[in-house]
Amino acid sequence: MQLRGWVRTVRAQKDVSFVEVNDGSSLSGIQAVVTSDAEGASVLANGDITTGASVVIEGDVVESPGGKQKVEVKATSVRLVGSADASTFPLQKKRHTLEFLRGIAHLRPRTNTIGAVMRVRNQLAYATHTFFQSHDFTYVNTPIVTASDCEGAGEQFQVTTLLNGADGAAAAPAPAPASTAEVAAAAAAAAEQGAAVKALKEKKKAGEATKEEVDEAVKTLLELKATAEALASPVAAAGAPASREVPRNKDGSVDYAQDFFSKPSYLTVSGQLNAEIYACAMRDVYTFGPTFRAENSNTSRHLAEFWMVEPELAFADLQDDMDCAEAYLKHCVAHVLEHCDEDLAFFEKNISKDNLRERLRSVAAQDFARITYTEAVEHVVAAAESGAKKFEFPVEWGADLQSEHERYLTEVVFENRPVIVRDYPKGIKAFYMRENDDGKTVAAMDMLVPGVGELMGGSQREERLDVLERRIEEVGLEKETYWWYLDLRRYGSVPHAGFGLGFERLVQYCTGVENIRDVIPFPRFPGSAEF
Amino acid sequence: MQLRGWVRTVRAQKDVSFVEVNDGSSLSGIQAVVTSDAEGASVLANGDITTGASVVIEGDVVESPGGKQKVEVKATSVRLVGSADASTFPLQKKRHTLEFLRGIAHLRPRTNTIGAVMRVRNQLAYATHTFFQSHDFTYVNTPIVTASDCEGAGEQFQVTTLLNGADGAAAAPAPAPASTAEVAAAAAAAAEQGAAVKALKEKKKAGEATKEEVDEAVKTLLELKATAEALASPVAAAGAPASREVPRNKDGSVDYAQDFFSKPSYLTVSGQLNAEIYACAMRDVYTFGPTFRAENSNTSRHLAEFWMVEPELAFADLQDDMDCAEAYLKHCVAHVLEHCDEDLAFFEKNISKDNLRERLRSVAAQDFARITYTEAVEHVVAAAESGAKKFEFPVEWGADLQSEHERYLTEVVFENRPVIVRDYPKGIKAFYMRENDDGKTVAAMDMLVPGVGELMGGSQREERLDVLERRIEEVGLEKETYWWYLDLRRYGSVPHAGFGLGFERLVQYCTGVENIRDVIPFPRFPGSAEF
């Protein structure tokens, strides 16, 4: 067989060397045994094969006499592909802290921990697709840039081309000058369209084309010409004024008419409202894409950029929603238990503070507890009053549950079972959640899991036009902003429900990794967009 | 059975009505036959069941006497779920133009064409995952926001919080005030951390904790306190100055130290460089995520936001890369042929200008042609010189091929076969592509397909540190900017290669839909970030 990968460790003895090679496909890698008669064995004698070097080793798989691994490769040839200077290569044999590794995000996937995290992450992503596809959900790509706002779910990043010219050439990366080929291609496109316009005008004379068709073609031609000219000009940046000032209206406000999208635009905080559009046309759908928060939180639980899974079910109520959320989590957990045993064992031994696989197995096996918010508050109040448990914060009906309360529920009351809490007071939930008949609560649900706390949150959506309009007014939003969202209730409205899962939280839950920055390949947080 | 969906058409006769119900799961939907004895049949008599209304119909599946469909549902009960006022509902029975539908992106998935597009798109996305997962590729989420630049592949959107305060409250959506619960949660987190710091200090006294651990905990505490304070304050916007002016340095340049990421940050134009990091640690990987171009192109071929698939193979050369690209496209095509026959037949009849399924079948069945760029130029020049074909633009060695040349190659020379063109002149390709031994060309490849033109582009990456450094200098880029990219060549470098596919182009290719704005749920282009 042929081993191709990166050297983790080398133990060179007089006549034989042991080289541990890892290609990232599994935690343990394979040990190659190289004796001096192997072709190219001199690279070992020379000390060129060091930790971090890339190698190709050919040989035969044999049973390993050592206890550490079952098989090893008896090398017939060894080839050094790329060296790694031991005096500067940052990843040496010793264990590095996860914090240190964050500073070398381009090398950390070569470590045991980050490699294992990314294999589990990959399997969870695939399990997400196999689950929803096998249940006939349609995958929908909701937009990343949006001029809409999802319930003010959080601070938003602005997306703009207005600053392109506002800082001279120093700050923005110099746009690569358009290559001659690009300029020529743009000119060619314009020329082609010119010919098309000509032909169309002839056709119009012959009565075979309408004025609208000609006008449309001319419009396209003008746009193509503008593009070609912009490309040919070395200074003009697309859509951006070449001045150092942000363009302003007469009243001093920013002139967004000059921005790329002609109005203030933002990075999405949730694809839910867009997913509802598709659920109200194609029944069950799901999203799986990046979402953003511009909140200045430097904690181990928050990222500025993270991936979310947001299923949306049509002709469905909160019960269906909870059933789906529970089945989805169980599927994910069963999938990683089946495909990532070696990695999970590694986390269990080195990272997670509990018996990880045991915990996951029990999640997959048992029904989740389901209680109302009101019952949850009663549990907490009773524990506080009896002195059975001391809480930092009191709770009373109408306030959100603190993480200490949520942990008490999942860990103590329900003995490390996931708990779904439903029917929250409407005052602490978003306007689009369906009002219950009591007039005080909404059909919202949070799934709480031991260790992580809230893993998913969802709701049945308000499908009654009049109720939704009233709720929008009550919370002080503008009905006009939500015209298309209201249209879904105006034309063929259906009961529907969905939930959102922070994908990184799921990876944390299945690995026990404490800091969310270690479960995403390139974490973004205040002050950090490196790599 | 129970039918749940939206009414497409109603034909009411005296004693019997025919209601075509569609739930987006297939093109044709199901016809329900409702006689006056069915429960709730009065809603039909009253005229409440109109195009666009949502209904639940129960009944028995019976053979259809009409020729149009094989089966129909003989209704036992009919229930109107949500009405759709026929006088205002924009989607009437007649056929609407795709341009009209773009203006009602929230309703267009309820049409035959957009529904079919999204079902094919869903299957192509799933085929992408099944292909790469079954070939042991790891799915990697590369970052969306980045301070790096991928070879100046295009104009970039800037991501910022600096404009948040620059326009008063009018332009930016009012940030939702933090709820009491959020404020309390932040305060609780700070308090918890305070207790942890206290405990740690005690431990340090007892020699059980290090100074570094205490310092780290204190740092976190300060951050949490800052977060809690910011949340409690009604004015402070995260990371943004509350002034109406963009903050400036003394020299007048924008003060990016005050921006969220502390430096100018952009939306990614490609995940390739990041994918290389993971390929150089875990072997074969792939990305599938959104990418962005701030180019002011108002054409039917460009979007400001689109999804890309970018596989990256380690220990691989251009040959492996081409093999992978060809196998991937064949897999996708075979998958939609298997799962989307009804939709493909619809496109064949109404949209695409060729025999769509025949074309796709032939792609799946035959080997792609593979030629060098030099051979491609020879073909074009020969045709032009012999007069066999007239081109708008001449071609000479060193210039990029125009779309008319590409079409001549795939459609005429290779008789509607996909063609992979390789070994392009280095002057028209990016710096990271591997230099061939001739010193003039690079190991780049483009896959051309009849109809669409370039569908994928890829290359073997330059893995030799000295050559890459020289190339970076030659094209006028800064080595310092690419420090981590160069590190991949410094430590355990391996030959690797990859390609990029614009996912929407693939959807166009498999449906025949001409305008790229019609194959993505919510298209973004200059002046448009609606919905």
Task: Convert the pLDDT of each residue in B38-63 to its tens digit.
Answer: 999 999 989 999 999 999 999 999 99
Residue B168's pLDDT band (cuts 50, 70, 90): very low
Q: CA-CA distances (angstroms) from residue B181 to A319, A393, B230, B479?
A: 26, 11, 14, 49
Return the sign of the alpha-carbon dihedral for residues A180, A181, A182, A185: positive
Q: What local confidence, expressed as pLDDT, does residue A168 receive? A: 45
Q: What local confidence, expressed as pLDDT, does residue B449 receive? A: 93
Q: CA-CA distances (angstroms) from residue B273 to A319, B141, B287, B433, B485?
A: 44, 12, 11, 12, 7
Closest CA to A118 of B13, B140, B172: B140
User: Is the pLDDT score of B235 beyond 90?
Assistant: no
User: Is the pLDDT score of A266 beyond 80?
Assistant: yes
User: Is the pLDDT score of B81 beyond 80?
Assistant: yes
Residue B237 CA to residue A157 CA, distance in Å, equals 11
Q: What local confidence, expressed as pLDDT, does residue A166 receive? A: 63
Strand bridging mode A441-449 / A419-425: antiparallel
Residue A167's pLDDT band (cuts 50, 70, 90): low
User: Is the pLDDT score of B468 beyond 50?
Assistant: yes
Residue B52 CA to residue A429 CA, distance in Å, equals 31
A34 CB neighbour count, 10 Å cutoff = 28
Q: What local confidence, expressed as pLDDT, does residue A328 receive? A: 98
Closest CA to A120 of A517, A456, A524, A508: A508
**What is the pLDDT averaged over residues B231-253?**
62
User: Is the pLDDT score of B237 beyond 50?
Assistant: no
Contact indicator for B506, B125 with CB cutoff of 8 Å: no
User: Is the pLDDT score of A189 beyond 80?
Assistant: no
Phi-psi region of B492 (alpha: psi -120 to 50; beta: other; left: phi over 0): left
A267 CB neighbour count, 10 Å cutoff = 24
User: Is the pLDDT score of B152 beyond 70?
Assistant: no
The single residue listed with the structure tokens 């084309």 is A209
Q: What local confidence, expressed as pLDDT, does residue B452 receive? A: 84
Residue A235's pLDDT band (cuts 50, 70, 90): very low
Helix, coil or strand: residue A39: strand
Q: Do A253 and B145 touch (CB under 8 A)?
A: no
Helix (H) or strand (E) holding B337: helix B318-339
Residue A57 CA to residue A59 CA, distance in Å, equals 7
Question: What are the φ and ψ backbone dihedral angles of B110, each rounded to 5 degrees?
Answer: -85, 5
Q: Do A122 and B145 touch (CB under 8 A)?
A: no
User: Is the pLDDT score of A170 beyond 80?
Assistant: no
Q: What share of chain A is helix, strand, coil (3-state, %, to 5)?
A: 40, 20, 40
Q: Do A491 and B141 touch (CB under 8 A)?
A: no
Per-residue pLDDT tens over the stretch A394-407 = 999 999 999 999 99
Q: Do A175 and B158 touch (CB under 8 A)?
A: no
**Angle subtended at Cα A473 by Cα A304 and Cα A464, rounded to the nearest 5 degrees:** 95
Chain A residues with CB under 8 Å of B152 CB are: 173-176
Contact indicator for A483, A80 with CB cutoff of 8 Å: no
User: Is the pLDDT score of A169 beyond 90?
Assistant: no
Q: From A160, which residue of chain B is nearest by alpha-carbon distance?
A: B158
Closest-CA distance of chain B to residue A192, Å: 8
The single residue listed with the structure tokens 């098989």 is A71
- Closest CB to B529: pick one of A53, A261, A403: A261
The single residue listed with the structure tokens 């001029």 is A147
**Angle subtended at Cα B247 by Cα B242 and Cα B248, rounded to the nearest 5 degrees:** 165
Residue B511 CA to residue B506 CA, distance in Å, equals 9
Residue A152's pLDDT band (cuts 50, 70, 90): low
Q: Do B180 and A399 touch (CB under 8 A)?
A: yes
Residue A96's pLDDT band (cuts 50, 70, 90): very high
Q: What local confidence, expressed as pLDDT, does residue A226 receive? A: 63
**What is the pLDDT averaged over residues B126-134?**
98
Q: From A54, which residue of chain B is nearest by alpha-carbon distance?
A: B492
User: Is the pLDDT score of B113 beyond 90?
Assistant: yes
- Closest CB to A529: pick one of B145, B481, B491: B145
Q: Do B260 and A296 touch (CB under 8 A)?
A: yes
Helix (H) or strand (E) holding A476: none
Q: Do A115 and B281 touch (CB under 8 A)?
A: yes
- Tell me the average pLDDT of chain A: 90
A223 CB neighbour count, 10 Å cutoff = 17
Closest-CA distance of chain B to residue A453, Å: 13
Q: What local confidence, expressed as pLDDT, does residue B231 receive? A: 60
Contacts for A202 with CB less than 8 Å, ≥ 6 apart = none
**What is the pLDDT averaged over residues B1-25?**
94
**What is the pLDDT averaged over residues B410-432?**
96
User: Is the pLDDT score of A176 beyond 60?
Assistant: no
The top-scoring range by mean pLDDT among A66-75, B166-175, B352-361 is: B352-361
More confident residue, A236 or B275: B275
Return the sign of the alpha-carbon dihedral for residues A240, A246, A249, A255: positive
**What is the pLDDT averaged over residues B387-414?**
94
Q: What local confidence, expressed as pLDDT, does residue A164 receive? A: 75
Q: What local confidence, expressed as pLDDT, does residue B184 receive? A: 65
Report the share of chain B in percent with pLDDT over 70.
90
Q: From A27, which residue of chain B is nearest by alpha-carbon distance?
A: B282
Closest CA to A340 of A69, A101, A98, A118: A118
Q: What local confidence, expressed as pLDDT, does residue B215 receive? A: 72
- Closest CB to A161: pick one of B145, B158, B189: B158
Q: What local confidence, expressed as pLDDT, does residue A366 receive? A: 93
Q: Do B261 and A315 touch (CB under 8 A)?
A: no
**What is the pLDDT averaged over residues B286-301?**
94
Closest CA to A502 of A304, A249, A216, A295: A304
Amino acid at A35: T
User: Is the pLDDT score of B232 beyond 60?
Assistant: no
User: Is the pLDDT score of B84 beyond 50?
Assistant: yes
Q: Count H helices, E strands: chain A?
A: 15, 16
Chain A residues with CB under 8 Å of B158 CB are: 159-161, 163-164, 172
The top-scoring range by mean pLDDT among A186-190, A333-337, A393-397, A400-404 is: A333-337
Q: What local confidence, expressed as pLDDT, does residue A216 receive? A: 74
Q: Collect contacts of A400-405 with beta carbons under 8 A, ≥24 apart.
A: A400/A428, A400/B179, A400/B181, A400/B182, A400/B184, A400/B185, A401/A373, A401/A376, A401/A377, A402/B184, A402/B185, A402/B188, A403/A453, A403/B185, A403/B188, A403/B189, A404/B188, A405/A376, A405/A380
Helix, coil or strand: residue A421: strand
Helix, coil or strand: residue A413: helix
Contacts for A488 with CB less than 8 Å, ≥ 6 apart = A276, A277, A280, B106
Q: Collect contacts of A361-368 with beta carbons under 8 A, ≥24 apart.
A: A361/A337, A362/A416, A362/A417, A363/A329, A363/A330, A363/A333, A363/A418, A363/A449, A364/A330, A364/A333, A364/A334, A364/A337, A366/A417, A367/A326, A368/A326, A368/A417, A368/A418, A368/A419, A368/A420, A368/A447
DSSP label of B404: H
Q: CA-CA distances (angstroms) from residue B455 to B326, B372, B511?
A: 11, 17, 14
Residue A84 CA to residue A54 CA, distance in Å, equals 8
Q: What local confidence, expressed as pLDDT, does residue A227 receive? A: 67
**What is the pLDDT averaged over residues B140-154?**
79
Q: CA-CA distances (angstroms) from residue B502 to A19, A156, A238, B82, B509?
A: 41, 27, 21, 38, 11
**Angle subtended at Cα A523 by Cα A519 and Cα A526, rounded to the nearest 5 degrees:** 135
Q: From B393, which residue of chain A is nearest by alpha-carbon distance?
A: A188
End-to-end CA distance of chain B: 35
Q: State the DSSP string of B57-102.
A: EEEEEEE-SSSS-SEEEEEEEEEEEE-B-TTT-S--SSPPPHHHHH
- Which spans in B340-433 are helix H? 341-350, 356-365, 373-386, 403-407
Q: Do B133 and A126 touch (CB under 8 A)?
A: yes
User: Is the pLDDT score of A10 beyond 90?
Assistant: yes
Per-residue pLDDT tens over the stretch B251-292 = 888 999 999 999 999 999 999 999 999 999 999 999 999 999
Provide the token pair at A114: 């980050």
User: Is the pLDDT score of B298 beyond 90?
Assistant: no
- Tell me the average pLDDT of chain B: 90
Report the predicted TM-score, pTM, of the whole model to 2 decimal places.
0.88
Report the share of chain A in percent with pLDDT over 90.
76
Residue A86 CA to residue B60 CA, distance in Å, equals 75
